[in-house]
Amino acid sequence: MVVLAALSAVGLVVDGRVLVGAPIWFKPFKFSVSFVAYCLSLAWMLSLLPTGRRVGWWAGTVVALASLVEMVIITGQVIRGKRSHFNHETPFDETLFKAMAVTVVILWLGTLVIALLLLRAEISDRASAWAMRSGIVLTVAGAAVGFLMTRPAPGQRRGVSKVVGAHSVGVPDGGPSMPLTGWSTTGGDLRIPHFVGMHALQLLPLLVMVLTALAPRFTRLADDRVRLRLVLLASAVHAATFALVLWQALRGQPLIHPDGATLGVASLIPAAVILGTYGSLRAPTSSSGKATGTADAGASKELVS
């Protein structure tokens, strides 16, 4: 995937072709970079499994091979100047898209197996364990959004239309879009919840690493209960954000043009972050309990003497 990302970056510079409103090499570049982060995260999580390593190895291998097949098809279609997703223009194009759909299902099932292994694994550090569990569950949910994209959009018919399926909701693919991400600015875009869900796999474990690094400087973070509370709060906030952007996309609403209902629900998320963080840091911890017990014991000895 690193090699494909480098080749795609070169393609972005030297190949000026545009497909569906975006530089033709943008899709393989974006997918390969995403797979780099995705597979590295899964590999790290699998290395922490105390049991089920054999099953995890096979599931990880399936994910890696399915990812490779998908990228070969995407890159091959770019070389041909054809779109890879939702393409039913010729029998060959349709066969490639169906093959890619099968690899996505296999990839999703492989990730689901890893999720089940992590959910039942006994990992000593509870904050790390729940970051991985929440991250993998949200990733499976985010990946499942891809299945919604394969539904026929308005005006499309299976067996008749050359394109069946779309990223956008309420507008055709390839319209005005945000820079860098390519997300629609005129309608809903299912790639947004897909992205938010998939990258919980990196963000939540990254939070644990940050909290652990800060623990020597902030004594409250040295307590495993505090770190666990913050991870569970972050998981809930990430899940709420995923649900919000999915709801927004399904209503055909652009990310950057939310209506009153979206803004009202969105305003609850930062409020939950502030209150939840305050509560997580202020609640009694095991260390404070130990300190109180030690003080009481000392006072009792002094009183007896």
Integer Cα distance of 268 and 166 in angstroms: 31
Taking Cα atoms as reference points, which of 48, 70, 45 lies closest to residue 60? Answer: 45
- Confidence band, pLDDT 50/70/90 cuts, at residue 57: very high
Q: What is the pLDDT of residues 225-271, one digit of tens each?
A: 999 999 999 999 999 999 999 999 999 999 999 999 999 999 999 99
Integer Cα distance of 31 and 52 in angstroms: 29
CA 129 to chain centre: 17
Integer Cα distance of 111 and 137 in angstroms: 9
The domains of the chain are located at 2-290
Q: What is the pLDDT of residues 102-142, one digit of tens each?
A: 998 999 899 889 888 988 888 888 998 899 889 989 999 99
> Exposure string (b/e) for 110-144, b if CB count within 10 Å is 16 or more?
bbbbbbebbeebebeeebbbbbbbbbbbbbbbbbe
Report the pLDDT value the prediction gives residue 160, as an integer from 0 to 100.
Answer: 78
Mean pLDDT of the 44-62 span: 89
Report the pLDDT value the prediction gives residue 296, as an integer from 0 to 100.
Answer: 42
Q: Has residue 37 got a pLDDT over 80?
A: yes
Q: What is the pLDDT of residues 165-219, one digit of tens each?
A: 899 999 988 889 898 888 999 999 999 999 999 999 889 989 998 999 999 998 8
Mean pLDDT taken over the chain:
88
Report the pLDDT value the prediction gives residue 47, as an integer from 0 to 100.
Answer: 86
Q: Does the predicted TM-score (pTM) go above 0.85?
A: no
Task: Spell out the SS3 assignment of the chain.
Answer: CHHHHHHHHHHHHHCCCEECCEECCHHHHHHHHHHHHHHHHHHHHHHCCCCCHHHHHHHHHHHHHHHHHHHHHHHHHHHHCCCCCCECCCHHHHHHHHHHHHHHHHHHHHHHHHHHHHHHCCCCCHHHHHHHHHHHHHHHHHHHHHHHHCCCCCCCCCCCCCECCCCEECCCCCCCECCCCCCECCCEECHHHHHHHHCHHHHHHHHHHHHHHHCCCCHHHHCHHHHHHHHHHHHHHHHHHHHHHHHHHHCCCCCCCCCHHHHHHHHHHHHHHHHHHHHHHHCCCHHHHHHHHHHHHHHHHHHHC
In angstroms, the first-to-last Cα distance of the chain is 71
Report the pLDDT value the prediction gives residue 286, as an integer from 0 to 100.
Answer: 57
